[in-house]
Amino acid sequence: MPRTARPTIALTVALAAVLLAGCTDDAGSDGQGNGVVGATPARAQAGATSSPTPAPPPTGPYVALGDSYTAGMKIPPQVGEPGGCYRSGANYPALVAKGLSLAAGQFRDVSCSGARTPDLTGPQKVSDGTNPAQLDALTADTRLVTLGIGGNDAGFMEVVTECAKANLVDILKGVIADSADRISNSPCRDHYAGGNGTDEVQRKVDAAGDRLGQVLQDVRKRSPKAKVYVIGYPGLLPADPAVCLPVLGDAVAASDLSFLVEKEQQLNGMLKKRAEAAGAVFVDLAGPSAGHDMCAGEDKRWVEPPFPAQGLAPIHPNAKGQEAASGVVLKAIKG
């Protein structure tokens, strides 16, 4: 084995260990696609002589639903029960509620790290207790709902971990010993989408979409007067994998970084499609987060890298990311 491969092996092993140890409560991203904030198209009627009076933006009661990308995993201050949900008092729902000047009784955040779509309709066990079914927070009086979910259903953190492990196996086998092989080799893509013509990640995304469609129908039944916003995932990786070399080194093959970008785009595309089909508004965070991915500098990034700043969750939004998300969501709400 070439001597130069040893730093790569060490970084790859460490990356896989961090992901397996630090992200078992969630996925996130738990992923993305490119675009602008989704909104319900204007319905100006042909021949109208005056513009319709715009509807006032929804206010409260406001209920926030979702996984760790909504909860604000490990971002201080951590609030609420159970503590294993890692819910932050500075996550985007809390900042949206503040931006709408909602009183405490007009806002409920029931998001929880590790949540999947079944945890919206059933209880979710966490390290120190149980988070009740998130949809139970909805009532007929609810007027505003935000929902950020789907990354855990798609197993996105597991995919990232597998990409690091698959690259390590190839390094140990000497498959990608030279730079040309490193550029072209894609062990993770081969693992998930090679051989039988079935893309396993896409299959999980599609299944998550079916469940999300049912959830959105349930939200409408429980809160028929609520305006519903489905929140996409911010960009985890840049479009150009080479930008990540200073942060990730060769821990994940360059072609597999492109594969991960593609999978996150598919995840966000599914969320947008399901939101629109249900009459909800899709809020795109991938477009606004361009240049703020985990491979950006510490002063620019909205998502932490595999080795995050002290106390924060790897491959999850930091405080700047939550603040930026709140601005995008507020813009969508206020029109």
Catalytically annotated residues: 68, 316
Largest pairwise CA distance in the chain = 76
**Residue 66, both tokens:** 């979702």
A 10 A CB-CB count for 23 gives 26
Of 233, 247, 249, 259, nearest to 163 by C-alpha is: 259
Q: Please, are residues 146 and 93 in contact by the beta-carbon 8 Å criterion?
A: yes
SS3 content of the chain, % helix, strand, coil (to 5): 45, 10, 45
Contact between residue 87 and residue 124 where contact means Cβ atoms under 8 Å apart = no
How far, in Å, CA of 33 to CA of 233, rounded? 8
Is 204 within 8 Å of 45 (Cβ atoms)? no
Give the span between the Cα atoms of 287 and 156, in whole angstroms.
19
Residue 103 C-alpha from the chain's centroid: 28
Calculated CA dihedral for residues 39, 45, 50, 56, nearest 10 degrees: -30
Residue pair 27/264 in contact by the 8 Å Cβ criterion:
no
- 39 burial (CB, 10 Å; 0-12 / 13-18 / 19+) is middle
